[in-house]
């Protein structure tokens, strides 16, 4: 069944900034004071002295109606970046700046969706121990795959964080008349089937291009469960299509928009990402 109706409500949340999804309206909320307890006089859950690692690491929120589709944690800072990205009056430099910053934020969230290995280390102070974890080895266990050309900027930004991680490329273009995807080119690491894949694509519209990219990875020996698809802006129709054709992948979106228009463009959207990023707007 389609989740477009459910996601329309999510899109409204993304568009108008209804922060009540976390149970707090910043215009009226009071700061939390754990030591003050609640109205019944009960103290907070923590043990004294409180330290931040008492809190369990959290996954990004799930999009309602799905168990493998996540949404980036929404903050005042992320909203300001999306405002900069969506504004048709934004200069190229402002658009590029917002894109790069959002890519880093999204990648940080995406890395929460790959398996981590627990590891306890000893700190330099008093022989104290810290129970932590390691991400997969970027050089031998990860691969970034970009869907050309818009996603190249995302792959480049991630490569700055992890220069050792290999980058795969897939070129798929959408027919402007039929909106159907066509594969033109792919170049992937020879051992890609052994790696966790972060598949980046700035915009998920109909889902056809993303589904084709996942098919290319499947044909190269990659399991669906090893793929995390990362998109800045997604339409409900695209999410429905991608999860229908590849239900075992995981997805992280920056924001979920309202719908597609008659020309299959995301609304409210942000225009053609590649043209705006590279300065080739007609």
Considering only CA atoms, give the Rg of the chain: 20
**Residue 253's beta-bridge partner residues?**
71, 231
Q: Do 93 and 211 touch, CB atoms closer than 8 A?
A: no
Single out the catalytic residue among 140, 178, 191, 280. 178
Active-site residue, 68 included: no
Give strand pairing partners of 263.
Answer: none
Let me know if 134 is a catalytic residue.
no
SS3 category, 253: strand
- For the record, the structure tokens of 14 come out as 């993304």
Instruction: Specify the residue for token string 């121990």.
Output: 129
Q: Which helix (H) or strand (E) holds 259?
A: strand 259-260
> What stretches of the chain show up as alpha helix (H) in DSSP?
4-16, 76-86, 92-110, 152-161, 208-219, 236-245, 273-278
For the CA atoms of 87, 109, 217, 275, the dihedral, rounded to the nearest 10 degrees, stands at: 10
Catalytic residue among 25, 119, 275, 280: 275
d(CA 132, CA 155): 27
Q: How far is CA 125 from CA 41, 52, 108, 130, 185, in A?
A: 37, 18, 29, 11, 53
Contacts of 261 (CB under 8 A, 6+ apart): 267
| Residue 272 a catalytic site member | yes
Instruction: Say which of 73, 174, 218, 245 is annotated catalytic.
Output: 174
Nearest to 242 by CA among 267, 269, 215: 215
Active-site residue numbers? 174, 178, 272, 275
């Amino acid at each position: 069944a389609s989740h477009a109706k459910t996601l329309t409500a999510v899109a409204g949340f993304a568009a108008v900034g209804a922060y009540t999804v976390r149970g707090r309206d910043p215009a009226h909320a009071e700061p939390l004071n754990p030591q003050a307890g609640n109205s019944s006089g009960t103290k907070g859950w923590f043990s004294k002295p409180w330290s931040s690692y008492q809190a369990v690491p959290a996954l990004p929120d799930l999009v309602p109606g799905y168990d493998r589709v996540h949404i980036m944690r929404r903050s005042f800072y992320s909203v300001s970046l999306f405002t900069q990205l969506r504004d048709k009056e934004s200069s190229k430099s402002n658009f590029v700046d917002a894109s790069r910053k959002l890519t880093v934020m999204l990648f940080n969230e995406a890395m929460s969706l790959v398996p981590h290995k627990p590891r306890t280390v000893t700190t330099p102070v008093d022989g104290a121990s810290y129970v932590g974890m390691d991400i997969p080895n970027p050089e031998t266990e990860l691969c970034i795959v970009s869907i050309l050309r818009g996603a190249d900027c995302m792959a480049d930004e991630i490569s700055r964080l992890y220069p050792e991680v290999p980058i795969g490329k897939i070129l798929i273009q959408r027919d402007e008349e039929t909106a159907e995807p066509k594969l033109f080119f792919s170049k992937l690491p020879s051992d890609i089937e052994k790696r966790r894949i972060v598949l980046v694509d700035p915009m998920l519209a109909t889902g056809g291009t993303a589904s084709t990219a996942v098919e290319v990875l499947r044909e190269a020996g990659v399991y669906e469960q090893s793929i995390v698809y990362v998109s800045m802006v997604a339409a409900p129709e695209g999410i429905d299509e991608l999860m229908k054709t590849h239900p075992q992948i995981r997805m992280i979106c920056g924001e979920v928009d309202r719908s597609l228009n008659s020309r299959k463009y995301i609304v409210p959207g942000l225009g053609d990402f590649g043209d705006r990023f590279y300065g080739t707007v007609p």
